[in-house]
Amino acid sequence: MRDLSQPALIGGVFGWITDFTDKLGDWAGNWWFLGVIFIVAFFDSVVPVVPSETTVIIGGVAVATGGAPYPLLAVIAVGAAGAFIGDNMAFTIGRRWASAFERRAARKPKFEAKLSWAHQQIADRGGLLLITARFIPGGRTAITIASGITRQSRAWFIRWTFVAAIIWASYAAGLARLVGEPFRDDHSKAFWIAFGTALSINIAIEVVRHNRGKRRFHKPAA
């Protein structure tokens, strides 16, 4: 009879996770995994379903554990390229919908106020908003599409998304290499420690950003 006790169930889940990460490690040991990193980074910018940090971290861990036939620079390059092209695709989608949003704003004053607020936020906070948003799954798509909807300069957008993509890919891959290096003999442990570290840092960044936003919102007028 199958053991359905809680310890057995938890053990089964962890066993499946270990097998899965081992399989990802096997995949990451092939040159074609660079194409996977590029594709996931691209689509994550447009349709944020699976965080693209995961594949970049897997590639970085593969380099750290000696299982990758490619250098860390290749992981950074394809991750940044996928993110950059995906961000610009999201911008183009937003730009194509800009007229529809403007027509709706003309009919609905409340919507017009929200659109104006979004435009002002992007104008005030500039490229730094694009950089910080790249580290927030879902947030990166929202800000890139909003940049297109509010008709920001494409030249300005390209410059900042280029910088943001390089910083993001370098951070994810570099952190995976750094944290995964001590665990060369255990790919699963290297991956989960690297992934957990990246997730913790991203959460800390989001908490700080959220608290700073609340302080600005509640700051009394001079």
Helix H, strand E, coil C: the string for the chain is CCCCCHHHHHHHHHHHHHHHHHHHHHHHCCCCHHHHHHHHHHHHHHCCCCCCHHHHHHHHHHHHCCCCCCCHHHHHHHHHHHHHHHHHHHHHHHHHCHHHHHHHHHHCHHHHHHHHHHHHHHHHHHHHHHHHHCCCCCHHHHHHHHHHHCCCCHHHHHHHHHHHHHHHHHHHHHHHHHHHHHHCCCHHHHHHHHHHHHHHHHHHHHHHHHHHHHHHHHCCCC
Res 199: pLDDT: 62
| Mean per-residue pLDDT pooled into runs of 10, the chain (222 residues) | 50 54 75 93 85 84 86 96 95 89 77 73 79 82 88 92 94 83 57 64 61 51 42
Res 158: pLDDT: 95
Res 134: pLDDT: 86
Res 76: pLDDT: 96
